[in-house]
Amino acid sequence: MMTEYQVTGDIAHVTVDSMLGLQRQTLYKGSRFQSPPATEQEVTHLLSINVIKKLGDEPDEPDEPDGADADAGDQVPASEREAGTSADAPQAETGTGHGQALSVTTGEHPADEEPGSEEPADQADEAQDTTDTEARRQTARDKLAKLGGKAPNARHGDEVLVEYLVQQGGNYEDLVRAERDDLLGMVKARQS
């Protein structure tokens, strides 16, 4: 008696009857095959790891485990079952790509976060950028001071050129975005 099965996992390796005779083939999700020619041992193994299902046994739609599928809980690590985290909990960035997490889940969902919860981090980044910018500007002003009132030339960095032009009345925000050639041209124009 022939029994028909369907692949429910991503792939299954099964003995099938082809035009060339019995062959071991890779079947993909949704493919159907019959036993025989698939051996009883193949079918038993594939059923035990939930890669295939016997057609007519279960409805096609539900993929969620029900009370009859108590073994599904064994696939969740004991530490997560005890901690009460679910499979829906966000995983850390690392994983095997096969549904196995390499690190512990947080148990929190991104939707649970309040809007704007990232603002302190953003503010810290802005504060760091402001500090870095001010430090670079101070270094440029120190170099400019060493020139003893002379105008910088092409050997000086953009920051020094910008600070010179700011001291001459220019707008820092505008000057910072200017090209080096334009900065040098403005410095030469101030010397005339």
Phi, psi of 159 (to 5 degrees): -60, -40
103, part of any domain? no
List the one residue out of 146, 137, 124 whose CA is nearest residue 165.
137
- Residue 9, pLDDT score: 92
Round to whole Å and give the CA distance between 160 and 156: 6
81, part of any domain? no
109, part of any domain? no
Structural domain total, the chain: 2
114, part of any domain? no
43, part of any domain? yes
- Residue 3, pLDDT score: 86
37, part of any domain? yes
- Residue 57, pLDDT score: 60
- Rg (C-alpha) for the chain, rounded Å, is 34
List the one residue out of 189, 172, 191 whose CA is nearest residue 181.
189
- Strand pairing class (11-18; 21-28): antiparallel
Q: What is the pTM of this model?
A: 0.37
- Residue 99, pLDDT score: 46
Last residue of a domain, one of 54, 71, 89: 54
Domain span including residue 144: 127-191
pLDDT in tens, the chain (192 residues): 788 889 999 999 888 888 888 888 898 999 998 877 778 888 899 999 999 999 876 555 544 444 444 444 445 554 444 444 444 444 444 444 444 444 444 444 445 445 554 556 677 777 787 888 888 899 989 998 998 888 899 899 999 999 999 988 889 888 989 999 999 999 998 887
List the one residue out of 19, 16, 12, 18 whose CA is nearest residue 39.
16
At residue 94, the 3 state secondary structure works out as coil
At residue 38, the 3 state secondary structure works out as coil
66, part of any domain? no
157, part of any domain? yes
